[in-house]
Amino acid sequence: MTSPRRLDLRAHACPMTWVKTCIALERLAAGEELEVWLSAGEPVDSVPRTAAEEGHQVVSLSPLDGGAPSGWRLVLRKGMAEARLALP
Amino acid sequence: MAPEPGRADPEGSPGEAVLGLEAIVASAAMPASEAMLLAVAGHLAGLAEADPDREVCGLVVAPGGGAAEAWPLPNVAPDPSRAFLVPPEALLLAFRRLDAGGGALLAVYHSHLSGGAALSASDLEVALAGGEPVLPGVAQVVVALEKGRAVRVRAHRFRTGRFEGLDLWPTGGREG
Amino acid sequence: MPVTVLIPSPLRELAGRQREVAAQGATVRQVLADLVASHPGLRGALTDDRGEPRRHLGLFLNDLDVRAAGGLDAPVADGDRLALVPALAGGAPRLGEEGIARWARQLLVPGFGAAGQERLLASRVRVIGADAVAGAALLYLAQAGVGTLWIDDPEAAAPADAGGWLLGPKAVGQLRGEAAVEALRPFSSLIEISPYPIGGVPTAVLIVATSSAQSLATAEVARRTGVPHVVVEADAEGGLVATIPVGAPCYACSRGAAGAGRPPAPAATGLAALAAHELLMLIADPSLQAGRRFELIRGVPSMRATARLSGCACSPPPPASDPDGAGAGPG
């Protein structure tokens, strides 16, 4: 059983928040979990939504210790779909 | 356990699983070779820190039944801060020495000056051929440096189609 | 008495646990081929997917490095001892923080990702031709993050070359390849751009030759050395981009009856950028195997898969008999 990986992105703004989350997800096998810490505002608004659009599962989204202003903890589970470069 | 802010980015080659040491110890299933790599991991971190401007590389061997030891080898890559290349004659001599002493090759190690302890695309290009490891049963150990300080030593072992990482150093618990 | 091949300890499992194995052949290359034929487990460790000895594989004939003794075609005599040494090489990932920021949009393309970007950064691309048509392709490749870009064009720049995206009027009279390297310097902070070094082994080739004869000749060399390549030929009506992964129908088959070398139309820039994009896809995803061609005729684009012309030398050889049944398919 692997422990979830943790990524603290509170110092980053969009789109880097999603870029780094995406790269980290890429390194996981389908079904594995990733924990991402995001600051309030655009990051926490957009990253969970984009992850779901890309086929990953939002397992949970909760404030970090210290309440919402210190940030949010997002846990994602990597989806099954294998993306390939689109070529007819 | 309180969350640890600022913990380093997760690492691993695409599709690779990284196992925490706690998980392995908890499963009480550590193979003897992993235990030997564990014993030499701190030493590998020291070797990498002693040469912070170039990638260090070499073999981890268990000579004739003894404890694991590191055999450093020269790096003759054109840009040794971003790549390593062992001259074949040095490797030939090392293998002959290994044979003469009746030892076993446990791992190949090298350091990254930046970029973490995952196996890079160029590491995999040399270590794999047609999806299988070129050196079966031999772990690939990477020492990750950041600004000249060792931050992680990770062993990668090929299992069921991909490399799986095991962090050897620093250990999961608190160091005295 | 045949040649004795010495197997290094980590490879002995693949050779039936033997330290020494006998093999036949008149040259080092033949001995290796015989060795791999009789011990197929060693194929991956010793040869690449074209059947050539792997890059950096060490070979010592009677303790002398074969590179000093005539290379792979060095003759061997009965009783000689050939020692093998697997390659030990690698390096840090080339995609750092700066690269992630620089190529963020590219990294997000589904199926491309950090793995694709790493492959681009680890690639060595030789671009044949640096004229006005090639300028757009060169810029595209440099901006996309090809790790090593080798520009191969020894012709002198003419006034016509100064009208493209890359070379300005000051380049006229300089060697085109060198002028292109200079012009790309502002885009080279994270990658290496240099004139093509003699003997350099690229991992992919882009051919923007100025004549059909040169296109055909250089494409054939790329095909024979097992390197994926893309060819662009621009003519007054538009032109052609042919994508040739390893093993796909060759350029001669792909081309059919294209126009003779006439001055390129403005659409040539778009074709060159498309050709660069196709090459990047081949590097980023090594599983892409189908060849295809794009045509632009009087502004109308079309695309179709390429097909081998019967009897062409690019047809794969029939499978050799395989007593072990292990097969030699793609890995």
Domains of chain B: 21-169 (3.40.140.10)
> Residue range B15-19: average pLDDT?
48
In-domain check, residue C321: no
Whether residue C250 contacts residue C216, with contact meaning beta carbons closer than 8 Å, is answered with no
The residue type at C269:
T
Report the residue of chain B nearest A82, measured CA to CA. B15
In-domain check, residue C312: no
> pLDDT at residue B10 above 60?
no
Query: How many CA atoms, within 13 angstroms, populate the side-chain half-sphere of residue B43?
Result: 15
> pLDDT at residue B36 above 60?
yes
Domain boundary among C85, C114, C139: C85
Report the residue of chain A nearest B9, measured CA to CA. A7
Query: How many CA atoms, within 13 angstroms, populate the side-chain half-sphere of residue B64?
Result: 5
DSSP strand pairing (C229-235 vs C300-305):
unpaired
ipTM rounded to 2 decimals: 0.80
Does C107 lie in the same domain as C211? Answer: yes
Does C79 lie in the same domain as C43? Answer: yes
In-domain check, residue C112: yes
Domain count for chain C? 2
Calculate how close chain B gets to C121, using CA atoms only, in Å: 9
Decide if B18 and A65 are in contact by the 8 Å CB cutoff: no
Helix (H, G, I), strand (E, B) or coil at C176: helix
**A32 CB near a chain B CB, below 8 Å?**
yes
Calculate how close chain B gets to A27, using CA atoms only, in Å: 4
Nearest Cα residue to C150 out of C135, C138, C167: C138
Does C275 lie in the same domain as C236? Answer: yes
CA–CA separation, C283 and C156 (whole Å)? 30
Q: Which residues of chain C have pLDDT under 50?
A: 322, 324-331
CA–CA separation, A76 and A79 (whole Å)? 9
**C26 CB near a chain A CB, below 8 Å?**
no
Query: In A4-13, which positions are buried (b, 16+ CB within 10 angstroms) versus exposed (e)?
Result: bbbbbbbebe
The residue type at C74:
A
In-domain check, residue C222: yes
What order of strands is seen across the sheet that includes strand B69-73?
B17-19, B162-169, B149-159, B139-146, B104-112, B57-62, B69-73
In-domain check, residue C329: no
Nearest Cα residue to C22 out of C43, C45, C6: C6
Does C50 lie in the same domain as C172? Answer: no
The tokens describing C4, both together, are 């004795």
pLDDT in tens, chain A (88 residues): 334 588 899 999 888 999 999 888 887 778 889 999 999 999 999 999 999 988 899 999 999 887 777 899 999 999 876 666 554 4
* C171 burial via Cβ count (<10 Å: 0-12, 13-18, 19+): buried
CA–CA separation, C289 and C228 (whole Å)? 9
In-domain check, residue C318: no
What confidence score (pLDDT) does residue B164 get?
A: 84
Domain architecture of chain A: domains with CATH? 5-77 (3.30.110.40)
**C237 CB near a chain A CB, below 8 Å?**
no
In-domain check, residue C316: no
Q: H or E element: which one contains C278?
A: helix C268-284
Question: Which of C111, C288, C290 has the CB atom closest to A83's CB atom?
Answer: C111
Q: Whole-prediction pTM value? A: 0.71
Does C152 lie in the same domain as C249? Answer: yes
CATH number of the domain where residue C184 is located: 3.40.50.720
More confident residue, C198 or B31: C198
Partner chains of B (3+ C-beta pairs under 8 Å): A, C
CA–CA separation, B15 and B73 (whole Å)? 30
CA–CA separation, C87 and C108 (whole Å)? 34
The residue type at B44:
L
Does C108 lie in the same domain as C22? Answer: no
Does C109 lie in the same domain as C77? Answer: no
In-domain check, residue C320: no
Q: Which domain holds residue C17?
A: 3-85
What confidence score (pLDDT) does residue B176 get?
A: 19
Query: How many CA atoms, within 13 angstroms, populate the side-chain half-sphere of residue B172?
Result: 12
CATH number of the domain where residue C26 is located: 3.10.20.30
What are the beta bridge partners of residue B129?
Answer: B132
Does C260 lie in the same domain as C160? Answer: yes
Does C272 lie in the same domain as C130? Answer: yes
More confident residue, B88 or C311: B88
Which residues, 6+ apart, have CB-to-CB distance to C44 below 8 Å? B129, B130, B132, B134, C331
User: pLDDT over 90 for what percent of chain C?
Assistant: 52
User: pLDDT over 90 for what percent of chain B?
Assistant: 51
Query: How many CA atoms, within 13 angstroms, populate the side-chain half-sphere of residue C245?
Result: 16
Cα dihedral C92, C97, C98, C100 sign: positive
